[in-house]
Amino acid sequence: MLNHRKILLVHPLGYRAGAAGQDISRVANLMPPLGLASLAAYLDAAGMETAIIDCFANPDSDGLIEAHLRSERPAFLGLSCTTSSFLDGVRIAELARRACPGIRSVFGGPHISALKERLLREYPAMDFAVAGEGEETLRELMDGGFETPAQVRGLIWRDGPEGEIRFNGYRQGLELDSLPFPAYGKLAGFPAAYKLPIFNYPTVPNTSCISSRGCPYACSYCDRSVFQRSFRSNSADYLYDHMRMLRRTFGIRHINFYDDQFTLDRRRVERLTDRLLAEPLGMTFNCAVRAEHIDPDLVGRMKRAGCWMMSLGIETGDPDLLARHRQNPDLNHLAGKIRTISAAGIRTKGLLMIGLPGETEASIRRSMDYVFSLPVDDFNLAKFTPFPGSPIYDGIRELGDFDEDWEKMDCMNFQFVTRGMTRERLEELFREFYERHFRRPKVLWGYVAMLWRSPDSWLRFLGGLGSFLRFTRSTRRMLGREEA
């Protein structure tokens, strides 16, 4: 007999477990599945019983999943999927059906919200899917809604003997302060099992935290299918209490706020920093900001309250290319804000993409010149990927060659090649971008300074040196084969 009050929540890995050690992005950055932890806390508060298995933190998890299903007999399996992990989620749902006949799989996440009915039509292993926010939809589904699915807002389901796919429409977003704090304690090994990106934090233990949902902007490359173009955030008092809980319960000393726009609500940040200065928690933090929503006064206030690093989306240093893909494309304004952050003593990180539609070798070199002219301490260069749900996705094949292999759509592969470029040349320029960055004296000195600013980062770097070298060698071998 299956228990309809129980659900196993799974974060799929997205590839075979044996390849986890070679995944450089996983070695350098292992983030807790905050969405699943939030769902677990909400469902537990509603009287359900939840468990979480994070296959990213524990790659060889098939045995764990099967053992849990056989011993606990949950009636539901919840899978949160990105594009690259979706097919692995389907595999896990099939595994679950064999281990626990009668179990119902429920898929959620950005890939599902973007493609909705198409997925249930093509993948019979999916019993239900959730578009948008999942807390209330999942609770209603478990609380008898699986028998009357037409009444559950946010649900995608099969109707009748013909299996017609129906979507009940998005539900209104929750008041975020009404939610319990995420169930971090249900993540095996938390916090030690999770790590922020190397050289992106001063001390351990550390973790990530999400204090808002959504973004009001509509850049061409961003998927907004889960939260649409809405923006909601926790209040300053709720956020302070969240930080205090992490400090007292888990000893957390540094937090990365994984919000799209941490400073969009300026008054909220002012209230939070006032509270942190009046009642210090002994914690530091990182956040992502847009140039339009910071100024010297706010940056100085955040520095005093413990801000250690700010990340900004630069995307490209070519003004014409940027104007095609982003709102408010003012690179001079952005440069001024980066200098403001650096002058305040806050570490700066630039977030860029290479291979955008319309990209040329000249535009990539303009990006290099732009980034290297600024006091950017660190940067992340993603390989542009046209995700389902992004404004550019529907017409992407008119702009270049797109190999829509979902398992490789993780911003680590050039699945799209814009007209006038080749995949081989993009790979060469990608490698050159990073090599030039690491040869800059200021950057090199910055990493030397991490010996005392972030000693744990150096320990991790040295411990993972084999993975980094294998990644470098495999990249060079791949380029050599393609050139031949």
Q: Note whether 304 and 389 are same-domain residues.
A: yes
Which ranges in 100-193 belong to alpha helices (H)?
110-115, 117-122, 135-140
Cα–Cα distance list, 178 to 11, 173, 175, 235 (Å): 25, 11, 6, 11
- What is d(CA 41, CA 60) in angstroms, rounded to the nearest whole number? 25
Sign of CA dihedral 438, 441, 442, 445: positive
* Strand 347-354 with 3-11, pairing: unpaired
pLDDT, tens digit (0-9, with 9 covering 90-100), for 9-41: 999 998 776 665 666 666 678 999 999 999 999
- What is d(CA 7, CA 75) in angstroms, rounded to the nearest whole number? 6
- What is d(CA 151, CA 145) in angstroms, rounded to the nearest whole number? 7
- What is d(CA 273, CA 219) in angstroms, rounded to the nearest whole number? 29
User: SS3 breakdown of the chain: % helix, strand, coil, rounded to 5?
Assistant: 45, 20, 35
pLDDT at 134 over 90: yes
Q: Is residue 175 part of a domain?
A: no
CATH, residue 121: 3.40.50.280
pLDDT at 112 over 60: yes
For residue 305, the cross-strand partners are none
The CA R_g of the chain, rounded to the nearest whole Å, is 22
Q: Note whether 298 and 149 are same-domain residues.
A: no
pLDDT at 484 over 50: no
How does residue 213 score in pLDDT terms, banded at 50, 70 and 90? very high
pLDDT of residue 21: 60
pLDDT of residue 215: 87
Q: Is residue 95 part of a domain?
A: yes
Mean pLDDT of 116-127: 96
Q: Please give the residue range of the domain that contains residue 127.
A: 3-167
Q: Note whether 40 and 144 are same-domain residues.
A: yes
Q: Note whether 150 and 213 are same-domain residues.
A: no
Percent of the chain with pLDDT over 90: 82
Q: Note whether 110 and 70 are same-domain residues.
A: yes
Q: Note whether 267 and 402 are same-domain residues.
A: yes
DSSP state of 195: B
> In terms of Cα–Cα distance, which of 58, 40, 57 is closest to 49?
40
- What is d(CA 424, CA 420) in angstroms, rounded to the nearest whole number? 12
pLDDT, tens digit (0-9, with 9 covering 90-100), for 369-423: 999 999 999 999 999 999 999 999 999 999 999 999 999 999 999 999 999 999 9
Give the total residue count for the chain: 484
pLDDT, tens digit (0-9, with 9 covering 90-100), for 146-156: 999 999 999 99
Q: Note whether 141 and 221 are same-domain residues.
A: no
For the ranges 106-110, 176-180, 422-426, 470-474, which has the lowest average pLDDT?
470-474
Q: Is residue 177 part of a domain?
A: no
- φ, ψ of residue 54 to 5 degrees: the values are -100, 105
The whole-chain average pLDDT of the chain stands at: 92
Structure tokens at 449: 């300074």
Structure tokens at 81: 């999927």
Structure tokens at 358: 């319309």
Q: Is residue 251 part of a domain?
A: yes
3-state secondary structure of 474: helix
pLDDT of residue 29: 83
Q: Note whether 340 and 260 are same-domain residues.
A: yes
Structure tokens at 210: 């999400």
DSSP state of 380: E
> In terms of Cα–Cα distance, which of 325, 484, 330, 329 is closest to 418?
325
pLDDT of residue 473: 55
Q: Note whether 201 and 161 are same-domain residues.
A: no
pLDDT at 481 over 80: no
For residue 382, the cross-strand partners are 353
Q: Note whether 201 and 162 are same-domain residues.
A: no
Q: Is residue 218 part of a domain?
A: yes
Q: Is residue 172 part of a domain?
A: no
Q: Note whether 149 and 34 are same-domain residues.
A: yes
- φ, ψ of residue 416 to 5 degrees: the values are -120, 135
For the ranges 39-48, 64-73, 338-347, 475-484, which has the lowest average pLDDT?
475-484
- What is d(CA 334, CA 6) in angstroms, rounded to the nearest whole number? 49
Q: Which of 113, 146, 167 is the last residue of a domain?
A: 167
For the ranges 24-38, 55-69, 423-437, 469-483, which has the lowest average pLDDT?
469-483
Structure tokens at 402: 């797109």
pLDDT at 66 over 80: yes
pLDDT of residue 25: 67
pLDDT of residue 462: 87
Q: Which of 113, 147, 167 is the last residue of a domain?
A: 167
3-state secondary structure of 450: helix
- What is d(CA 338, CA 341) in angstroms, rounded to the nearest whole number? 5
How does residue 277 score in pLDDT terms, banded at 50, 70 and 90? very high
For the ranges 250-254, 294-298, 396-400, 469-473, which has the lowest average pLDDT?
469-473
CATH, residue 413: 3.80.30.20
How does residue 230 score in pLDDT terms, banded at 50, 70 and 90? confident
Q: Is residue 182 part of a domain?
A: no
Q: Note whether 421 and 276 are same-domain residues.
A: yes
Q: Is residue 338 part of a domain?
A: yes
Count of domains forming the chain: 2
How does residue 158 score in pLDDT terms, banded at 50, 70 and 90? very high
